[in-house]
Amino acid sequence: MLSQNEIMQTIQMIDQQHLDVRTITMGISLLSCAHSETKTACDKIYDKITGYAEKLVATGEAIEKEFGIPIVNKRISVTPIALVAAAAETDNYVPFARTLDRAGKTCGVNFIGGFSALVQKGMTDADRHLIASIPQALAETDIVCSSVNVGSTKAGIDMDAVALMGRTIKDLAARTADRSGFGCAKLVVFCNAVEDNPFMAGAFHGVGEPERVINVGVSGPGVVHHALQSVKGEPFDVVAETIKKTAFRITRMGQLVAQEASRRLDTPFGIVDLSLAPTPAVGDSVARILEEMGVETCGTHGTTAALALLNDAVKKGGVMASSSVGGLSGAFIPVSEDEGMIAAASSGAITLDKLEAMTCVCSVGLDMIVVPGSTSAETISAIIADEAAIGMVNSKTTAVRIIPAPGCKVGDMVEFGGLLGSGPVQAVHTASSKAFIDRGGRIPAPMQSLKN
């Protein structure tokens, strides 16, 4: 029999510490939808998505009520559209994005990801068409998310794609200037992108994945923060153990929800992504966990070490709690989506350079960072290149989700709303990277790639 204490502990985690299942994401393969006629391909895509994910939202809501655990988002990820649309005789892929938008809205999901291309070793014609379609596609749709993988440890970094993505991000920001460049919040540039990520904006359904799959992302920065408050002043061994135990509990809950969703939707269970994903709500911040460990403000000296411990302990605690761990799994450090990060960035305590250092040890990369609208495409490309290099050399996923907010300057506050939060405009280096980006070509894969 469970003790009253244990039951109340769980209730408090949900009620006061923002414990939730962040997302149930259904991955759907669209490879069977390829067709030379765009309209036929789009019709097949719409029918397949709405057929498979018809009951996704209702099932998620039922599980939410029966278990009494909030499931914040229900999402869909699909095969990278560049692969599906390659057969179509068109160079405009915007209709594919509109179809995803329509299908996602019919299913009632919050986001649909996979308007994507994998170009780490070079671009096909279809990849070029997709990237060229991104600005219009994301400006004209509401819930479609896009990602482009420009590098990997195995392939190196495609610097032509990196240069192209800098211009694409600028174009997208300009097209959504009335919403402070909001479109860029739906676009991620990856190195070592994972095929089973349930989190947006970077989710897509990889080609190695089955026909359809259920992936679940758990969260709970507030729970970890609360647990650490009970070990104030204790050595780091104790801190690591406390985080591990907490991550274990959170992940067990995610595993239960994932299995239940998989059973009810008659869809194979893929993975649990055990990520600490913050929200702008007070008490749901990763930055505050780092501060609880003893750094006065997130961003000061010691922050990277604190984050390294957190990221590692979360994985170690979670890995035994789930039959299959995957996705990004670790601690996210988005700026605009984290109340503590917003405070640290607003006060100038955390800079872009420190964030870049932190991405060496966090689960992903530079996330939801707002920079001045005057930032050049080449500077954005160079930021992407730096981040991709960190991922490539360290055999980890890194990403850049950056918003050059049109008309905004350093210190301004940009409001995105909802889970995307609000971000202060942060300074970038002013010296030019143009000649560096103009070179193009490919940065060869590092020695780490030669493992065979």
Partner 1 sequence: MKAIVTVIGKDRVGIIASVCTLLAQYNVNILNISQSIMQENFVMVMLVDIIGCKIPLVELSEQLAGLGAEGGLSIRIQREDIFDNMHRI
**Residue 447 binding partner 1, by CB under 8 A:** no
User: With respect to partner 1, which residue has the nearer C-beta, 168 or 255?
Assistant: 255
* Interface stretch with partner 1, choices 63-71, 173-181, 415-423, 431-439 (CB under 8 A): 63-71
d(CA 13, CA 17): 5
- Our finding on whether 66 is near partner 1 (CB under 8 A) is yes
Q: 3-class SS at 325?
A: strand
Q: 439 exposed, middle or buried (CB, 10 Å; 0-12, 13-18, 19+)?
A: exposed
Determine if 1 is a binding residue for partner 1 (CB under 8 A): yes
4 contributes a contact to partner 1 by CB under 8 A: yes
Q: Which of 421, 432, 11 is nearest to 182 (CA)?
A: 421
Out of 51, 68, 268, 440, the residue judged to bind partner 1 by CB under 8 A: 68
Nearer to partner 1, 8 or 31 (CB): 8
- 6 interacts with partner 1 by CB under 8 A: yes
Q: Least Å distance between CB 357 and partner 1?
A: 35
For the bound state, the minimum distance from the C-beta of residue 250 to partner 1, rounded and expressed in Å, comes to 8
Contact by Cβ (8 Å): 332, 398: no
Rg of the chain over CA atoms, in angstroms?
21
CA 428 vs. chain centroid, Å, equals 22
CA pair distance 138, 98, nearest whole angstrom: 9
Lay out the site mask for partner 1 across 11-30 (x = CB under 8 A, - = otherwise).
Answer: x---x---------------
Q: Residue 59 interacts with partner 1 (CB under 8 A)? A: no
Name the H helices within 293-403. Answer: 303-319, 339-346, 352-358, 377-394
> Which range in 59-67, 341-349, 350-358, 406-414 contacts partner 1 by CB under 8 A?
59-67
- Tell whether residue 168 is a contact of partner 1 (CB under 8 A): no
Q: Does 10 bind partner 1 (CB under 8 A)?
A: yes
In the complex with partner 1, the residue whose CB is nearer, 15 or 296, is 15
Nearest-approach distance from CB 14 to partner 1, in angstroms: 9
| Residue 273: strand pairing partners | 217
Helix (H, G, I), strand (E, B) or coil at 146: strand
What DSSP state is assigned to residue 202? S
H/E element holding 164?
helix 159-175
Q: Applying CB under 8 A, does 31 fall inside the site for partner 1?
A: no
Q: Which of 147, 176, 255, 363 binds partner 1 (CB under 8 A)?
A: 255
**According to CB under 8 A, which one of 34, 57, 62, 231 is a site residue for partner 1?**
62
Exactly one of 71, 184, 253, 265 binds partner 1 (CB under 8 A); that residue is 253
Shortest Å distance, C-beta 288 to partner 1: 23
CB atoms within 10 A of CB 452: 3
Residue 219 CB, shortest distance to partner 1, in Å, is 15
| Residues 6 or more apart in contact with residue 158 via CB below 8 angstroms | 119, 120, 121, 122, 123, 150, 151, 442
Among 144, 150, 188, 256, the residue binding partner 1 under the rule CB under 8 A is: 256
CA distance 153 to 168: 24
Residue count at the site for partner 1 (CB under 8 A)? Answer: 21
Distance CA 25, CA 23 (A): 6
Nearer to partner 1, 11 or 207 (CB): 11
Smaller CB distance to partner 1: residue 63 or 310? 63
Backbone phi, then psi, for 145, in 5-degree steps? -115, 150
**Binding to partner 1 by residue 230, rule CB under 8 A?**
no
DSSP assigned state of 208: T
Distance CA 401, CA 19 (A): 25
DSSP state of 276: B
Which residue stretch of 58-66, 123-131, 182-190, 399-407 sits at the interface with partner 1 (rule: CB under 8 A)? 58-66
Q: Return residues touching partner 1 (CB under 8 A).
A: 1-2, 4, 6-11, 15, 62, 65-69, 249, 252-253, 255-256
